[in-house]
Every structure is written in C-alpha cells, then in structure tokens.
Copies of this chain bind each other. A is one copy, B any other.
C-alpha cells in the first residue's frame, strides 16, 4: 500500500516508517512540524503524534481521500467529535493501545473469565523503574476484562519495557498468562495490522478490538 506518516521524525514515527517499508509498503506522505512532503496520495495515513496535529491530519485525509490509523494519546471529546465526523466518509481505526497481544488477551479474558470463577486470580506487572504510575493502565484494563475484585502487584525494576502476568489457580492447577512487550516496535506492528484492516473498509469508526474480533471469527 501507499502510506503517510504524521510525526515521521518522532520515536514511534520512525518505527512506523521502518515496519511499514520492511513489509514493502511505500511512504508517499511525510509530515512533521512545519514540514509536509507529498509525493502521492496515500491509501492510509498513520498518526501517532500529538493532539495538535489532528486538524492537519484531517485536512490531508480529505485532500487525498485517505483512510486513517490514529494512535495519538490524550485525545479529548472535541478530538473524538472531529474523528466521528471524519469517519462518516473515511474508515478510521482509533485506539490508545496498539499492542496486538494485549488486545487479544483482553478479548480472551472477557470470554473465559466465567470459566475461572471458582479459581483464585491475581495480577503482577513489571515496568522500568522510571514509570511512576502504579498499577499500569494495562493492568487496570486486564482487571476490568476479568471483571473481578483482585490484587495487582506492581514491580518497578531496571529497564523492563512492560511485563503483565495473570495467574489463575485452584487446589490442583496453576494457569499463568504472561505478556511481554519486547520493544516499542509493538505499536508500529499494531499500526500496520490496523492499516491492512482498514484498507478493506469504506468508512466507519473502528477500534483495535474490532480488528481482533474480525480475526477471531
């Protein structure tokens, strides 16, 4: 596919460029602060930059008739209104978490939490020592998917990008489901999956969960 990147000089922007081109897709639109390089009209624009960039991104989608994958965090109600309007004519995937693995786990846990209702359950998560919030946002999402009051144990150690572990146990058995983020590339790989998903859609507002659901059918 032909793709565009908003914030292409940023940390995740670089990873998106790397992951997409490695999969043989062609960057035709590169946007960063005060800079727009337009070689062709992209099929999909990928934006993991800042909320401020959203207006430019919207204009570019309309100009080039491009679909949108947006992973920008800290979006407010106004931003969501803008995205919903845009989604009437263009297909959009929006999510605060583009890790495929975590989204799969959330989906699976929602499905199986009932089976484990008479097993004990606790969660552990490990992140680098510079992370200040406890527990992690992802651990809270996991707890919500299990839909139960349970303990979360937060370890802060060295340079760990992000480990999450859900433990279920009864008298005779232990099941542990572990997720490890190997690197930040995770989010770029998730963006590529989202871009491929959205290519097949005309318009509409989708989240990462919709991608997982379609694959699980």
Contact = CB atoms under 8 A, between A and B. Distances in A.
Task: Count copies of this chain in the complex.
Answer: 4
Interface in A140-169: 151, 153, 155-161, 167-169
A170 B112 CA distance: 24
Interface stretch (A58-66, A85-93, A100-108): A100-108
B216 A111 contact: yes
A185 B172 CA distance: 5
Contacts of A216: 111-112, 114-115
Interface of A: 19, 99-101, 104-105, 108, 111-112, 114-116, 119-122, 124, 126, 129, 151, 153, 155-161, 167-189, 212, 215-216
B119 A158 contact: yes
Q: Interface majority SS on A: helix, strand, loop or mixed?
A: mixed
Given A120-B129, A185-B171, A178 B176 contact: yes
B180 A173 contact: yes
A99 B105 CA distance: 22
A158 to B, nearest CB: 3
Contacts of A122: 155-157
A184 B167 CA distance: 20
Contacts of A176: 176-178, 180
A188 B172 CA distance: 9
A191 to B, nearest CB: 11
A115 B104 contact: yes
Most buried by B among A111, A114, A169: A169
A168 B157 CA distance: 7
**CB-based closest 10 A-B pairs:** A158-B169, A172-B186, A157-B169, A153-B153, A159-B171, A101-B173, A172-B185, A174-B180, A176-B178, A115-B215
